[in-house]
Structure 1
Amino acid sequence: MTTTTTDVRSPARATDRRLPGAWSIGLQRGALELKQFFRLREQVVFTFAFPVVFLFLFASIFKDDVRGAGITASQLYVPAMMAAGIMSTSFQSLGISIAIERDEKVLRRLRGTPMPPAAYFLGKLWLVLVTGLAETAVLLLVGTTLYDVDLPGGPEKWLTFGWVFLLGLTGCALLGIAISSVPKSGRSATSVVVLPFLVLQFISGVYIAIDTIPDWMLNIGALFPLKWMCQGLRGVFLPESANVLEQAGSWEYGRIALVLGAWCVGGLVLCLLTFRWKNRRDG
């Protein structure tokens, strides 16, 4: 007589075949995004060269000493261009690229996979973090080499740089994701995203010194993160004597943290309310 035994495995001993979590898939998405970005040489050159060229142009045209600030106009442009570079690699880059991916139905196909939706956005955030750091490093190298901008001497200034960079990058990235839902097609994305970014650069102290911009324009610019990123980075890389150029006559680090933090929260809410995986015409 043959005895047949049945191998019954308890749930605790069963092989765990759960899918990877959003965090690990997000890392893989980030690596894929970076690989795709650096394969497009023209895009890489334009992304990193654009603020450097503008810095060189403005710093060469306006290079006299700034009265009462103890700095040159060239030095004033360096942190402002760094802030614009951060917003370019986050707000502008995501606003255009996501709109194009939606128009080409890439988002729709991804939504139909088992991938957690959060992994897609984590991949985009990894992309803007790496490119934002690279952009900032390039501009800082140019500023210290050609325009005598001093690196911060103590940890306090570097800590300030860290939170201004992270809060500014996060807020601008979330705003870029939100505005990607505005264009009706991928072809119109560039116009929809670049125009407000260009206007913000003029009224936020990137191309024009703060003390020469009308107060009503500054008040409008103060509603958005770019103005506060410029101000925070000026406080990090310029001497204390330069704070007389600011609208309030000081760096206002507390207000900078408050506004940038508010944009991180507000940008997240905007994304949750407005983001779409497919175009309006697709239903």
Structure 2
Amino acid sequence: MDYRIIGDSCLDLTPEMKKEGKIRIVPLTLHVDGVDYRDDETFDQKNFIAVVAASQTGPKSSCPSPEDFKQAFGEDDVPAFCVTLSAELSGSYNSALLGQRLSQEDHPDKKIHVFNSRSACIGETLIALKIEEYAEAGASFEAIVEKVEAYIRHQETFFVLDNLETLRKNGRLTGVKAALVSVLNIKPVMMATPEGTIEQCSMGRGTKKALKKMVEEVGNKVSDFENRIFGISHCNCLERAIFVKEEIEKRYPFKKIVIADTAGVGTMYANDGGVVIAF
């Protein structure tokens, strides 16, 4: 069937996905010290990292409007699937639902489903790939929704960041955890809960030890590696992403590993050197 896949701009595209152009991205807007940065193809990651590092107040973001999502769904009856940031972390999911309502007012027969990823970054990416897999295999709209919602319920997301300040300033973490990172060089291994919130599950002294701890957590969560794609998002630190990939390959036989650099929203929260994994 004909179909569309839409993601908000926290969905990190791999180089291959960018080349294929099958996924339409609806950008969030990032704000730093009164300046707006649109999270689209014009986003300059290195410049944004420098701007955030110099800011005393830190960055914030605003989600796309319902009208933005409506336009992405298309002015026709082609079925559309949308993947957004965790509803616990952003208003993007609710905005997409309103966009769905607007679209279906004009096109009552149009099928649209908005997936709350309960994740972010590469977690959203893997969900989009799963939608594409089922759609290309000829599954019905209803079957895709059922299968992908089940996939989301069993997906795991972890991350290790050098800098937790943005998460702290935006109310996602306590100040104590952020202080541990800056003062003691303790790097927490964080994870997404089934509800899409964030909690700490482990920690390591220094980034490399924390990344290894994160890799160890993978084996505690799943065993059906051969049926899963493993995803890595990194913020301006490809060497760390490759290190994680190599550590994963030593231990677990995932059927495929994909790597993406963070777009604007992922860069805002992960900060320079952050690594996010999902599987």
TM over 0.5: no
Which TM-score applies when normalising by structure 1? 0.28
Where is the helix percentage greater, Structure 1 or Structure 2?
1
Which is greater in Rg?
A: 1
Which TM-score applies when normalising by structure 2? 0.28
